[in-house]
Amino acid sequence: MITPLPPLTFGIVAGELSGDQLGAGLISAIKSRHPDAKFVGIGGPAMMAAGCESLFPMDRLSVMGVVEVLGRLRELLRIRKTLREHFLANPPDVFIGIDSPDFTLPLEHSLKQAGIRTVHYVSPSVWAWRQKRVFKIRDGVDLMLTLLPFEAAFYEKYKVPVKFVGHPFATAIDPSIDFARAKRYWGFQPTDKVVAVLPGSRGGELKFMGPIFLETMRQLYIMEPTCKFIVACANAQRRAQLERQLAHFDMRLPIQIVDGHAREVMAGSDIVLATSGTVTLEAMLLKRPMVVAFRWGAITHAIISRLVKTRFIALPNLLAGKALVPEFLQDEAQPEKLAKALFDLLRNPDNRERLQREFAELHTILNRNASEEAAKAILALVALPLAATSLQAN
């Protein structure tokens, strides 16, 4: 009589909503192949709905900024210690840390030293700054899963087992979206020249970028009086913050402010003005020509400028390996320069069409069904003999 094999068990930890979505997709993809697989760790509503047993509420890990982290440091260390002890006592077939590198990478390192296979899903920006972290990652991770192809190339250079799985946004965003319908949804006419404005999802970002973007809109409106603006705020708090900034401007502009719905707002626009971040990737996948800007505080800039090792900061430019879209950083992020770049986009349909073609090519590269690719790579790792010390990702 053949004794059935025990179900596969996976330790898994996500600390943010974005990681929760990635984790849910991964769990579902693995369960489609191994319906009895067990998942234990920390997850949010999506992961728990997919079948993860969460030992702690995920929001206990969702902290940002030095001050908040220091205020919760004792609790975070206690949670990590408890997880380590749990997985050492109940070794999973593999442990998967999803993003949240400051929390998950040290846990992965300690578990790998104890003989437990480890995977990290979503690379930290080690290719951009603090590059020496790659050596600790190599020691603590059996497999790195990246969302972007240039990340995989970076890890390969340092002999870190890596697999590029594609970006879930590329699968979620329909490349044949009906932009005219999206425009009508927000009350615009097909002939309206609509500028979507994304000033940042965090209070600190909006503090710096809000006034700059408002002045940019004023200057662009003077140059092109037929244009209209729609601003996507991350939530009601950011909307209130922007409205306070707007109250200090003596202007009357055709501005529509929306809570959330950043993707839909960009789909209903002709061009985008955005603070650098993941939103620029979404704009690219939506085939929306854009101008990107970012400004830090003076002290933060003095520190980061010494550490950053990349030519570009906007994700479309990083993916293309060239200055595909205009980006303006720190002292260059001046309203007159941003307004001129936006004006040039509005007045140059050939340039917009060229950008859209290049964006479409990048969309194809990223659209690999990340959850399925990640599941296959993890299950291939599980199938390796325990003595294996490295994985040559295909």
Q: How far is CA 311 from each of CA 128, 283, 298, 305, rounded to the nearest angstrom?
A: 9, 20, 20, 11
Strand 227-233 and strand 193-198: pairing?
parallel
Contact present, 254 and 268 (Cβ < 8 Å): no
Backbone angles phi, psi at 119, to 5 degrees: -130, 140
Nearest to 278 by CA among 173, 353, 356: 173
Contact present, 373 and 165 (Cβ < 8 Å): yes
Contact present, 211 and 275 (Cβ < 8 Å): no
Token pair in block for residue 164? 């590029």
Which pLDDT belongs to residue 110?
Answer: 97
Nearest to 324 by CA among 359, 285, 293, 274: 359
Which helix (H) or strand (E) segment holds residue 26: the answer is helix 17-33
Which helix (H) or strand (E) segment holds residue 381: the answer is helix 370-383
CA–CA dist 265, 195 (Å, integer) = 9
Residue matched to tokens 């991964």: 26
Residue 368 DSSP one-character state: S
Residue partners of 221: CB distance under 8 A and separation at least 6? 227, 229, 253, 254
List, for residues 122-179, the tens digit of each pLDDT value.
Answer: 999 887 667 888 999 999 999 999 999 999 999 999 999 999 999 999 999 988 889 9
Contact present, 127 and 147 (Cβ < 8 Å): no
Which pLDDT belongs to residue 388?
Answer: 53
Token pair in block for residue 262? 């950043």
Nearest to 169 by CA among 272, 280, 61, 13: 280
- Structural domains for the chain: 9-166+368-383 (3.40.50.2000), 174-366 (3.40.50.2000)
Q: Is the model's pTM score more than 0.85?
A: no
Residue partners of 332: CB distance under 8 A and separation at least 6? none
List, for residues 220-262, the tens digit of each pLDDT value.
Answer: 999 999 999 999 998 899 999 999 999 887 778 899 999 989 9
CA–CA dist 127, 163 (Å, integer) = 15
CA–CA dist 214, 251 (Å, integer) = 10
3-state secondary structure of 322: coil
Backbone angles phi, psi at 48, to 5 degrees: -65, -40
Nearest to 80 by CA among 94, 97, 68, 66: 97
For each of the chain's 394 residues, which pLDDT tens digit applies? 455 668 999 999 999 888 999 999 999 999 999 999 999 999 999 999 999 999 999 988 865 444 455 567 788 999 999 999 999 999 999 999 999 999 999 999 999 999 999 999 999 988 766 788 899 999 999 999 999 999 999 999 999 999 999 999 999 998 888 999 999 999 999 899 999 999 988 787 888 899 999 999 999 999 999 999 999 998 899 999 999 999 887 778 899 999 989 999 999 999 999 998 889 999 999 999 999 998 865 555 554 555 566 678 899 999 999 999 999 988 899 999 999 999 999 999 999 999 999 999 999 999 999 999 999 999 999 998 765 544 444 4
β-strand partners of 94: 10
CA–CA dist 223, 316 (Å, integer) = 27
